[in-house]
């Protein structure tokens, strides 16, 4: 598996919180969902969202509280 969240922190310099995750290995592929807490700073949050949206085989949906 690719270390997606670690890569986000290293490549973009943005730290996120993993609030919850449910992942499974199916035939060598990671499937599941993850709830992330993004930074309060709008620019930092936008960098994180942009990074995740540009990752292959990753679907991202923004949920606001």
- Exposure class string for 7-43: b at 16+ Cβ within 10 A, else e: ebeeeeebebeeeeeeeeeeeeeeeeebebebeeeee
- Give pLDDT, residue 4: 93
Average pLDDT, the chain: 93
- Assign domain 4-53 to its CATH architecture: 2-Layer Sandwich (3.30)
Write the DSSP symbol of residue 12.
H
Domain boundaries, the chain: 4-53
Sign (positive or negative) of CA dihedral 39, 45, 51, 55: positive
For residue range 22-35, what is the model confidence (pLDDT) as tens digits?
A: 999 999 888 999 99
- Give pLDDT, residue 64: 82
Q: How many separate helices (H) and strands (E) can be counted in the chain?
A: 2, 2
- pLDDT under 50 in the chain at which residues? none
């Amino acid at each position: 598996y690719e270390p997606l969240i670690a890569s986000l922190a290293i490549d973009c310099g943005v730290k996120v919180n993993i609030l919850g995750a449910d992942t499974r290995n199916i035939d060598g592929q990671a499937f599941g969902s993850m709830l992330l807490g993004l930074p309060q700073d709008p620019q930092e949050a936008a960098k994180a969202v942009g990074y995740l949206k540009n990752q292959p085989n990753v679907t991202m949906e923004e949920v606001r509280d």
